[in-house]
């Protein structure tokens, strides 16, 4: 290409193709013979950022720029239509576009078409494409129309998007009109721009255009207008959503019903232009809520009465505890005292039968003393003031072992704590818990086997998987006490924690049947759980889980 043809300079890919093409093999001939009008027009096209196509001459040969190139797609017309006759280059649509080209070439008139669907072969197939374009005449040096300049935009995506939007809006309106819930859109003055059928029918408005802010004034209960104005006003000022409850008149019944109205701000180009929202009839729920409130108030009064009765019962329980610790124990102590005196001074004078009866009197008195003491302990686990403190479990177990030293020595037993941890506890209660469990392990040991008791401690964090009443986000301590005693049948694992429940007779093992009930109540006082498992004539296992910190 001769360097003097500066009109073909630059132009990107298409400029390069035009410079490298051997035009001498075409009817146009070398560019040296091209008219100035063609040169000027091509130069404009090549340097334009807008998609442009030029039909030139009697056969309407084609030229186009880089901006037009993507319109042709791949595996299509590019680049073979460069310089090709129009009828040959656009054979599949020539009958559609040639009449428009003729208007320009013969009459010298420009034409404009918007979103016109004209198929085109590209990407290896025929595609339906929508175009917005103008056809403008290009005159030569003699003033005759020698070409047609096409400025075009492929608007397929925009047209299809608009269709999808219209279809979406159509479906939305159909669905919205089937909904019993109000669906609405307003401007900033609360004038309705869109309303579904449910809202229009309810307030008795036929057309959305009639649904101005004044309609709200007419249909909202007078006592609730301030709620509406202040709610919408604050949401408009803060540009936030809102939730309001107010009464609206039913056009069919002239009765006011409660609605819950929710709205969110609507924006265009960053500017708030109104609200989008819903409204749901909650009149029945409101009525139910009022009834429920009345029932709750009644129930609250009943609970208050029950609490008064409970307080009276607690006072009676405290009185019973006082009587048990003083009035009941006083005659019992005298029975024990005089029995001991008679046993010391008059025992030898009694017959064999009398001696047996006296021993039974003493035994019964001692059992009564134990029963009273255990009942007092059981009642105090609820009534005594709870003061939590941090205690090392190993030290507490050692104190209990010292108290049980004589029993352990008689049976050659051992109590071993594998590890230890500090726990927040009511110390005197937890000491009694450990005493009851460990003394039971010694008491219910096999006659020919020394008792061996093992206490294992671990920290757990998945407590809820063990018991649904425990919390997974809280740190718990699991205490497992295992012995090698006589055990028990697994079917009694719950029963043994009930008051006065015994699995063995008084003749076999001394006890009142309250010890494990006290243990369970103390565990509950520490927001924990306790369980038991065992195997008859083999072992017993007690598992306690309670918070490390209260």
CA distance 179 to 195: 11
Distance of alpha carbon 518 from the chain centroid: 42
Q: What are the residues whose beta carbons fall under 8 Å from the beta carbon of 216, sequence distance 6 or more?
A: 190, 228
Q: Tokens 């006659």 appear where? A: 447
d(Cα 332, Cα 370) in Å, to the nearest integer? Answer: 11
Maximal CA-CA distance, the chain? 162
Is the dihedral angle over the CA atoms 469, 473, 477, 479 positive or is it negative? positive
In DSSP notation, 208-249 reads GGG--HHHHHHHB-GGGHHHHHHHHHHHHHHT--EEEEEEEE
Query: Residue 544 pairs with which residues in a beta bridge?
Result: 479, 530
d(CA 201, CA 507): 86
pLDDT at 487: 86
For residue 320, what pLDDT is reported? Answer: 60
Nearest-5° angle of CA 440, CA 526, CA 387? Answer: 105
Which DSSP string do the residues of 378-406 spell out, in sequence order? HHHHHHSPP-EEEEEHHHHHHHHHHHTHH
Contact 544, 478 (CB under 8 A): yes
What gap in Å lies between CA 335 and CA 339, rounded to an integer?
A: 6
Strands 256-268 and 242-249: antiparallel
CA dist 294 and 287 (Å) reads: 11
Q: What is the pLDDT of residue 507?
A: 46
pLDDT in the model for residue 292: 78
Task: Compute the C-alpha angle 365/447/498, nearest 5°.
Answer: 55
Q: Of 439, 403, 414, which is closest to residue 518 (Cα–Cα)?
A: 439
Residue 72 DSSP code: G
Q: How many CB atoms lie within 10 A of CB 459?
A: 10
Helix axes 427-443, 515-525, angle to 10 degrees: 150
Comparing C-alpha atoms, which of 149, 137, 151 is closest to residue 51?
151
Q: Is 312 exposed, middle or buried (0-12, 13-18, 19+ CB in 10 A)?
A: exposed
Round to whole Å and give the CA distance between 474 and 539.
31
CA 138 to chain centre: 67
Type and span of the H or E element at 362 = helix 352-383
The 8-class DSSP code of residue 187 comes to -
First to last CA, the chain: 93
What are the beta bridge partners of residue 414?
Answer: 452
Instruction: Please give the pLDDT value at position 307.
Output: 78
DSSP-derived secondary structure for 471-533: -TTS-EEEEEEEE-S----GGGTTGGGSTT--SS-TTTS---S-HHHHHHHHHHHTT-EEEEE
Q: Which residues in 333-344 are b (16+ Cβ under 10 Å) and which e?
A: eeebeebeebee
Render each residue's pLDDT in the chain as its tens digit; 550 residues. Answer: 445 566 777 778 998 999 889 998 888 998 888 999 999 999 999 999 999 999 999 999 999 999 999 999 988 899 999 999 999 999 999 999 999 999 999 999 999 999 999 999 988 889 999 999 999 999 998 999 999 999 999 999 999 999 998 888 888 888 888 888 999 999 988 888 899 999 999 999 988 888 888 888 899 999 999 999 999 999 999 999 999 999 999 999 999 999 999 999 999 988 999 999 999 999 988 888 777 788 888 888 888 887 787 776 666 655 665 565 556 667 777 777 777 777 777 777 778 887 787 777 776 676 666 656 656 665 666 556 678 999 999 999 998 999 898 889 899 999 999 989 999 998 888 988 999 899 989 988 888 899 999 999 999 888 888 888 888 878 899 999 999 998 888 888 888 887 655 555 444 444 556 778 889 989 998 889 999 998 888 889 999 999 999 8
CA 36 vs CA 3, 29, 31, 204, 452: distances in Å = 16, 14, 10, 72, 116
**Residues 6 or more apart whose Cβ sits within 8 Å of residue 100:** 111, 113, 135
> For the whole model, what pTM was predicted?
0.42
Beta-carbon-side half-sphere exposure of residue 296 (alpha carbons within 13 Å): 6
- What pLDDT is recorded for position 318? 59
Residue 2: predicted pLDDT? 47
* Spatial distance between the Cα atoms of 263 and 299, rounded to a whole number of angstroms: 37
């Amino acid at each position: 290409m001769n360097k003097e043809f500066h009109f073909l300079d630059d132009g990107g890919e298409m400029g390069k193709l035009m410079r490298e093409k051997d035009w001498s093999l075409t009817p146009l001939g070398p560019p040296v013979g091209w008219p100035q009008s063609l040169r000027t027009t091509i130069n404009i096209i090549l340097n334009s950022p807008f998609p442009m196509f030029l039909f030139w001459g009697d056969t309407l040969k084609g030229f186009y720029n880089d901006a037009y190139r993507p319109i042709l797609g791949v595996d299509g017309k590019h680049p073979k239509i460069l310089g090709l006759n129009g009828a040959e280059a656009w054979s599949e649509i020539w009958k559609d576009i040639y009449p428009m080209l003729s208007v320009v070439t013969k009459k010298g008139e420009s034409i404009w078409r918007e979103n016109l669907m004209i198929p085109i072969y590209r990407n290896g197939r025929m595609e339906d494409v929508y175009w917005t374009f103008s056809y403008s005449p290009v005159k030569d040096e003699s003033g005759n129309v020698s070409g047609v300049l096409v400025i075009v935009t492929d608007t397929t995506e925009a047209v299809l998007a608009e269709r999808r939007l219209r279809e979406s809006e159509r479906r939305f309106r159909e669905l919205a009109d089937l909904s019993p819930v109000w669906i609405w859109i307003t401007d900033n003055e609360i004038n309705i721009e869109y309303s579904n059928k449910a809202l229009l029918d309810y307030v008795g408005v036929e057309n959305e255009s009639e649904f101005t802010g004044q309609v709200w004034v007419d249909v909202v209960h007078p006592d609730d207008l301030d709620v509406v104005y202040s709610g919408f006003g604050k949401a408009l000022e803060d540009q936030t959503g809102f939730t309001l409850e107010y009464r609206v008149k039913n056009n069919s019944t002239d009765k006011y019903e409660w609605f819950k109205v929710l709205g969110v701000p609507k924006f265009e180009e960053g500017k708030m232009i109104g609200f989008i929202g819903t409204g749901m009839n909650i009149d029945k729920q409101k009525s139910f809520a009022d009834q429920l409130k009345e029932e709750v108030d009644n129930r609250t009064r009943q609970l208050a009465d029950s609490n008064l009765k409970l307080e009276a019962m607690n006072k009676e329980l405290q009185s019973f505890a006082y009587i048990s610790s003083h009035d009941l124990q006083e005659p019992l102590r005298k029975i024990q005292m005089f029995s001991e005196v008679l046993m010391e001074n008059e025992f030898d004078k009694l017959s064999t039968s009398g001696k047996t009866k006296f021993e039974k009197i003493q035994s019964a008195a001692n059992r009564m003393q134990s029963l009273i003491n255990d009942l007092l302990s059981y009642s105090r686990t609820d009534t005594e003031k709870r003061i939590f403190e941090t205690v090392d479990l190993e030290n507490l177990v050692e104190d209990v072992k010292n108290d049980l030293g004589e029993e352990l020595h008689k049976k050659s037993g051992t109590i071993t704590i594998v590890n230890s941890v500090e726990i927040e506890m009511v110390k005197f209660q937890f000491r009694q818990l450990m005493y009851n469990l460990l003394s039971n392990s010694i008491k219910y040991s096999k006659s020919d086997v020394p008792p061996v008791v093992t206490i294992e401690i671990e920290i757990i964090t998945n407590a809820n998987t063990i018991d649904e009443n425990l919390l997974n986000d809280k740190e718990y301590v699991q205490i497992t006490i295992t012995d090698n005693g006589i055990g028990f049948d697994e079917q009694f694992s719950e029963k043994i924690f009930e008051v006065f429940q015994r699995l063995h007779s008084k003749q076999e093992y001394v006890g009142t049947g309250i010890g494990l009930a006290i243990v369970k109540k103390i565990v509950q006082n520490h927001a924990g759980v306790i369980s038991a498992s065992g195997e008859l004539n083999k072992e017993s296992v007690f598992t306690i889980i309670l918070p490390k910190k209260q």
